[in-house]
Amino acid sequence: MTVIVLTNCPAGLRGFLTRWLLEISPGVFLGSPSARVRDVLWDEVRKYSGQGRALLAYHTDNEQGFTFRTHDHAWHPIDHEGLTLLHRPAAPTRTSPAAEPPRQGWSKAAKRRRFGR
């Protein structure tokens, strides 16, 4: 079983994939092509995805029972003691004024405590 998930990819690529796979939801393709066809499809997806992202998951004979590949995703697969996991990068730190903590005493309750009312 093979699953390909496309995000923000050209419509022509989606039409190309419907020749071999069934589109069960917008951008989600499912089918059982041979390994050779699957690899050719993945090469085409990577070539024509434009600014979009793609994910390929398929059945293999390992402990998890499947493996996956990603293209232009922020999350990257890593091997952890024989299991493939997705590494999610840390959130970027902000240096804008909106990220600074609020000043002390800015609320009405803080003003009441300060002035004894």
Q: What is the pTM of this model?
A: 0.72
pLDDT at 39: 96
The closest of 7, 43, 2, 8 to 20, measured between CA atoms, is 2
Residue 37: pLDDT above 90?
yes
Q: Provide the mean pLDDT of the chain.
A: 87
CA distances from 57 to 2, 13, 91, 108, 113 (A): 6, 18, 26, 54, 59
Categorize the per-residue pLDDT at 41 as very low, low, confident or very high, splitting at 50, 70 and 90: very high
Question: What class has domain 2-87?
Answer: alpha beta
- Kindly report the length of the chain: 117
Q: Rounded to 5 degrees, what angle do the CA atoms 41, 42, 45 make?
A: 90
